Amino acid sequence: MKRIFLLFMLVMTSLWVCSQDLAIYTDYLSKVQLFEGGEFKELEHLPLNSYQIGNECLGYEDNSENFKIYYNHYTFEINSFVSNYIVTDHLVAYNLNNQLKVFDSGDKITLSVYTDLYATGDELVAFFDKQNKIFKVYYNGEIIELDDALAGDEITE
């Protein structure tokens, strides 16, 4: 009876186990390989300068410092230069100088044209829009205004 119970528990726990959908590695020729959904494919033929990986997408700078995002079996070429980027489970937030943009399910959305202070979570990006002096959050495809700093000082770190 104890063995049957242990077998039952093993089967039940294995049903709840899930893994990350994407993984990358560099092969012996220094080519960057992608593993997705049980299949291997070449992502880049030269080593990457940097990368961050989430559950749904992969953000990376290639060997020529071009910023790209791999999402849903396709590589999106975003820009030849980004100041910084953060990949979460569902979003990629990135700066182009003072502009803050987000990549969400294949869409590139400009959140603010003048900001340098932002934070990310799995499904949201919180930021202070310096042009309008408003603290905002991007969530579920919408930009929501939370608070303004029109009467006082700006929000700082």
State the CATH number of the domain containing residue 103: 2.40.128
> How far, in Å, are 2, 16, 65, 122 from residue 83 at the CA level?
58, 39, 11, 21
What pLDDT does residue 11 have?
58
Q: Does residue 149 surpass a pLDDT of 80?
A: no
Output helix, strand, coil percentages for the chain, rounded to the nearest 5: 10, 50, 40
57 lies in some domain: yes
Q: Are 134 and 120 within 8 A, CB to CB?
A: no
Report how many domains make up the chain: 1
pTM of the model: 0.80
Q: Does residue 128 surpass a pLDDT of 60?
A: yes
65 lies in some domain: yes
84 lies in some domain: yes
Q: Cα–Cα distance between 8 and 13 in angstroms, integer? A: 9
DSSP tag of 154? P
What pLDDT does residue 1 have?
67
99 lies in some domain: yes
Q: Which domain holds residue 138?
A: 47-148
Q: How confident is the model at residue 81 (pLDDT cuts 50, 70, 90)?
A: confident
Q: Are 10 and 4 within 8 A, CB to CB?
A: no
